[in-house]
Amino acid sequence: MNAHNLKVLASYCDVNETLQNISQRWKVQILHSIFTGLAHFSQLKKAHPSLSDQVLGKRLGELVAQGLVSKTCITGTTPVQTAYSVTCKGKGLLSIIFELQAWSKKDWATQSLQCSAL
């Protein structure tokens, strides 16, 4: 039923599909952490201790597949280390998210106050 509902929502509004692509739990937090300089799995795990290794690995794979993050294998290390970095596409998404955050801090509270006065 959920898959059907998602198809129906997507057919009515393209925004729903976009939001579904970025709204999986931890995805934006991981992207932001990589943006701030946490480039390795172990650093990301330390920054988000309640995040399981399995979910972290899955979200990193999704971010790479979506082109939001690039993955580089560092040769000459044992075991081989992997470094992640935010791509131009990922930086574009983050800039939109930062704008949304600024709007929320500025306008969301103001609108809530105005509506509560009605």
In the chain, what are the domain boundaries? Answer: 2-116
- Give mean pLDDT, residues 65-82: 91
Using the predicted structure, report yes or no on whether residue 63 has a pLDDT greater than 50.
Answer: yes
Q: Is 60 helix (H, G, I), strand (E, B) or coil?
A: helix
Using the predicted structure, report yes or no on whether residue 115 has a pLDDT greater than 50.
Answer: no
Chosen CATH of 2-116 out of 2.60.120.10, 1.10.10.10, 1.10.645.10, 3.40.30.10: 1.10.10.10
Please, which residues have CB within 8 angstroms of residue 9's CB and are 6 or more apart in sequence?
16
The pLDDT tens digits for 2-59 are: 778 767 766 777 777 777 778 888 999 999 999 999 999 999 999 999 999 999 999 9
Please, which residues have CB within 8 angstroms of residue 76's CB and are 6 or more apart in sequence?
none
Confidence of residue 80 (pLDDT cuts 50, 70, 90): confident
Question: For the stretch 44-55, what's the b/e string if a residue is b when 16 or more beta carbons lie within 10 angstroms of its beta carbon?
Answer: beeebeebeeeb
How far, in Å, CA of 27 to CA of 49, rounded? 15
